[in-house]
Structure 1
């Protein structure tokens, strides 16, 4: 498996604290069947500022350590930039790191709302030849209340990535239910761990794929796994026609 979202680089955000933590996460990833991880430290989220140069250096150091310990895991450079008005400048200044130096770029929204300039920024990013991927939309409160926001973003070219722990119910029944609604509406293109540690925020990726397989069948599972591979290559990912979310009311009644 490939995990495109993980906070495995040590000492630069709220993920792994030490190199030993990084190694422990790597061992857990391999045990789960993950062979490649894109390291995606936070950037410009009000707490952390991890530029491309820092990420490349940290990625190289971790790969060296994993090689020394004969851990069969490859770490690739990525980043989780919080949405902000200077993202395009950050790209020009080479402070922003795309996922494995491809055309795919993570965008993290605030947890409580969707900024008014989001649609324009996503459009401007695409004008630069990049494809924005909205991370964990299922945990954005305004998205939950107004899922048509995500529909419009996806319809206009953006992609989205849902967290494995959301699919598994680790973030609660409401988030799990909304994640399933997004999947059913073809508004999800990737499943990734967003792992931070081995206690409260671990991988759970294999379990998430099992759940998706049991609920939606092999084709949906294949789509998500294949998209992770296509992303690494910088190829066009698989997309189904996006649908409007059918908002479920209490007790699952429409």
Structure 2
């Protein structure tokens, strides 16, 4: 059974499920793919949506109640997808932010076109709070696409990476797919998640991505991602990855120009 650590399934909170029926349909689709646990991650502080911890927890309780009434064997856990912003640490201390299943792992979304200059300092502050940032879909960030070694540096400093299943399947374009695949191949990615929003163009493709990776990289690679998702929701340590000289070479293979 699978765990999805990034899904916009809570109805009416963001650009994900619009209604309870939509959320139930997404849960049923996930169950058919072998997913039994979903971490709900509505957008927070992204300039359009603000979903504070209490509201997220209430919505999770309501959805879990509906799933139980309908005998749908899927459990929803709390979380947020938080756009990186200067006041993040203050909101954590104020209880406005909720981590993935209230663990040490915080799902963070970077701006799509940049990496804020304050990110490295904030990383240090988060680590002092025993919080490990998990970067959502780094393969879609314009800076990482041009300078992937910057992502390697962040991983070496304790950041985790979560690749989106649709990226691996090429649904965000070939360049994004290539980077997503190499992050998995070189064990720089720690997690694979659906980032599902609906039953249409942004549906759950987690099982398809696992099958794709199994065919190209082997079952052991896929098992690592499944185990890491389990470790995450249990608030256990996901072992940091060693990105050494061998790991550096693939950046130059993908991007032979100087970066």
TM range (shorter): over 0.9
Aligned length: 251
Give the TM-score taking structure 1 as reference length. 0.96
Q: Secondary structure at the match of 2:77?
A: strand
Report Cα offsets for 1:83-127 as digits up to 9, x if no partner: 001111011110000000111101100111111111111121111
Question: Do the aligned partners of 2:57 and 2:78 also contact (CA within 8 Å) in 1?
Answer: yes
Query: Which deviates further from its counterpart, 168-177 or 100-109?
Result: 168-177
Q: Distance in 2 between matches of 1:198 and 1:84?
A: 30
Q: Distance in 1 between matches of 2:252 and 2:26?
A: 37
Aligned to 1:120: 121
The alpha carbon displacement at 1:218 in A equals: 1.6
Question: Do the aligned partners of 2:149 and 2:251 also contact (CA within 8 Å) in 1?
Answer: no
Q: Distance in 2 between matches of 1:165 and 1:155?
A: 26
The alpha carbon displacement at 1:239 in A equals: 3.5
Question: Do the aligned partners of 1:193 and 1:203 also contact (CA within 8 Å) in 2?
Answer: yes
The alpha carbon displacement at 1:168 in A equals: 1.0
Give the TM-score taking structure 2 as reference length. 0.94
Aligned to 1:47: 48
Q: Secondary structure at the match of 1:191?
A: strand
Aligned to 1:59: 60
Query: Which deviates further from its counterpart, 216-225 or 176-185?
Result: 176-185
Question: Do the aligned partners of 1:223 and 1:238 also contact (CA within 8 Å) in 2?
Answer: no
Aligned to 1:166: 167
Aligned to 2:4: 3
Question: Do the aligned partners of 2:83 and 2:111 also contact (CA within 8 Å) in 1?
Answer: yes
Aligned to 1:151: 152
Question: Do the aligned partners of 1:108 and 1:135 also contact (CA within 8 Å) in 2?
Answer: yes
In structure 2, the gaps of 5 or more residues are none
Query: Which deviates further from its counterpart, 58-67 or 120-129?
Result: 120-129
Q: Distance in 2 between matches of 1:213 and 1:200?
A: 24
Q: Distance in 2 between matches of 1:82 and 1:17?
A: 21
Aligned to 2:251: 246
Q: Distance in 2 between matches of 1:3 and 1:181?
A: 21
Runs of 4+ that moved beyond 4 A: none
- Work out whether 1:199 is the aligned partner of 2:190: no
Task: Give the alignment's Cα RMSD to 1 decimal.
Answer: 1.4
Question: Do the aligned partners of 1:5 and 1:192 also contact (CA within 8 Å) in 2?
Answer: yes
In structure 1, the gaps of 5 or more residues are none
